[in-house]
Chain A
């Protein structure tokens, strides 16, 4: 009984910290959609995804690209959540295609 209680306690993060984490994500996402984002952002997101997918198994849903303005400087932030059991793809699969010179 005691042990169970302990596990419950240990894994519990302070709720304010959870709230802050969640808000950071929501707020960034909503700002990028409501405030004017550059036209190329969706395309950039797609292309970055393709590059990363070559090396890591990733879920499209877990990738966010945000453009933030802090103190007048624009910061492009790329967030990728790698799956827990993420093992890098061992050898890059290189398709041998020959192109005419």
Chain B
């Protein structure tokens, strides 16, 4: 059975697109046929993070308006087998998407893919609700910061109420917490909310942390999902998250400070 996973957050700029790109790429690299859809109509940038912006011909809106066939709009990734991108359009018309059209596209994708990853736009309005509507599971991307946690809580309320599963009394959407841009040093100093704080506030299962890392920017500069570089912590964090999502039991990393040279030398803590 194909699984629809929405990457959502409420608050903007917390790392949804970065996560959607790396999560989809990671799942596909483990041999699962995966498509990642950009729902951010008017502000598309998943294609940039995935590095396929020059190959966009048709987009989600063209498919919904029947101006193009689905297979014409799907972009095959050149690095990972079985990975496809369905870009958003740059149209300014926010109402270009409708529930019925999105439902049809997702039904058709379910026949061909194991995982359908939906990159949600920011906010809790129509665009975000369309992206989450058909989801089976949700990755709630949160930064350890007050406004992001508050928005995540509101998004959890929507996932519980305004989705296909909720409206049809099916089993509720399975929500996972993904804490991104985590800075252990600041947490240790009491300057940043910890994993435990956020878990206690939001009360959903914990999928993992992605450390704050300069490699995220360099990866997006290059158009390479950061998960493909497993030499940096953000990439490793995403790989862990993907494996955990697929059912593997992996210990959590990046929750403790790395010991510097002097600390190692003197055994200080």
Chain A residues close to B by CB (< 8 Å): 14-17, 19-20, 22-24, 26-27, 30-31, 34-35, 70
In the complex, A26 Cα to B150 Cα: how many Å? 8
Contact indicator B197/A15 (Cβ below 8 Å): no
Say yes or no: is B193 at the interface (Cβ < 8 Å to chain A). Answer: yes
Q: Which residues of B contact A19 (CB under 8 A)?
A: 145-146, 193, 197
Give the interface SS of chain B, mostly helix, strand, loop or mixed.
Answer: helix
Question: What's the dominant secondary structure at chain A's contact region?
Answer: helix
Residue from the set A14, A23, A24, A34 with the largest chain B CB neighbour count within 10 Å: A23
Show 27 residue pairs from A and B whose CB-CB distance is below 8 angstroms, ordered by the A residue: A14-B189, A14-B191, A15-B190, A16-B190, A16-B191, A16-B192, A16-B193, A16-B194, A16-B197, A17-B190, A19-B146, A19-B193, A20-B193, A20-B201, A23-B150, A24-B201, A26-B146, A27-B149, A27-B150, A27-B153, A27-B201, A30-B150, A31-B153, A31-B157, A34-B154, A34-B157, A35-B157
Which B residues contact A (CB, under 8 angstroms)?
Answer: 145-146, 149-150, 153-154, 157, 160, 187, 189-194, 197, 201-203
A14–B194 Cα distance when bound, in Å, is 12
Q: Is the CB of A14 within 8 A of B149?
A: no
* A15–B154 CB distance below 8 A: no
* Closest CB pairs A-B (n = 8): A14-B190, A20-B197, A16-B190, A27-B153, A34-B157, A19-B146, A16-B193, A23-B201
Shortest CB-to-CB span from B130 to chain A, Å, is 20
Complex contacts, A35 vs chain B, CB 8 Å: 157, 160
The docked-state distance in angstroms from the alpha carbon of A30 to that of B155 is: 12
Minimum CB–CB distance from B2 to chain A (whole Å) comes to: 30
- In the bound complex, residues from chain B placing their C-beta under 8 Å from that of A24 are 201
Q: Can you name the residue of chain B whose Cβ is closest to the Cβ of A13?
A: B190
| Residues of B close to A70: CB separation below 8 A | 203
B191 cross-chain contacts in A, Cβ below 8 A: 14-16
- Which residues on B sit within 8 Å (CB–CB) of A27? 149-150, 153, 201-202
Among A15, A23, A31, point to the contact of B149 (Cβ < 8 A): A23
B197 cross-chain contacts in A, Cβ below 8 A: 16, 19-20
Interface centre among B149, B187, B189, B194 (most CB of A within 10 A): B149
Collect the chain B residues with CB atoms within 8 Å of residue A31's CB: 153, 157
Bound together, the chains give a CA A81 to CA B214 distance in angstroms of: 44
Q: B146 and A23: CB pair below 8 A?
A: yes
In the bound complex, CA of A78 to CA of B249 (Å): 40
When distances are taken between beta carbons in the complex, the residues of chain B under 8 Å from A20 are 193, 197, 201
Q: How far is the CB of B99 from chain A (nearest CB, A)?
A: 22
A19, B201: Cα distance in complex, Å: 11
- Across the two chains, which residue of chain A brings its CB closest to B190? A14
The residues of B that contact A23 with a CB separation of less than 8 Å are 146, 149-150, 193, 201
Q: Which residues of B lie under 8 Å from residue A14 when comparing CB positions?
A: 189-191
Once bound together, how far apart are the Cα atoms of A27 and B201, in whole Å?
Answer: 8
**CA A30 to CA B202, docked complex, whole Å:** 12
CA distance A23 to B202 in the complex (A): 10
* Closest-CB distance, A101 to chain B (whole angstroms): 53
Residues on A with C-beta less than 8 A from B187 are 16
Q: Return the contact of B146 from the options A17, A22, A34 (Cβ within 8 A).
A: A22
The listed residue (B153, B190, B194) touching A30 by CB distance below 8 A is B153
**Complexed CA–CA distance, A30 and B150 (Å):** 9
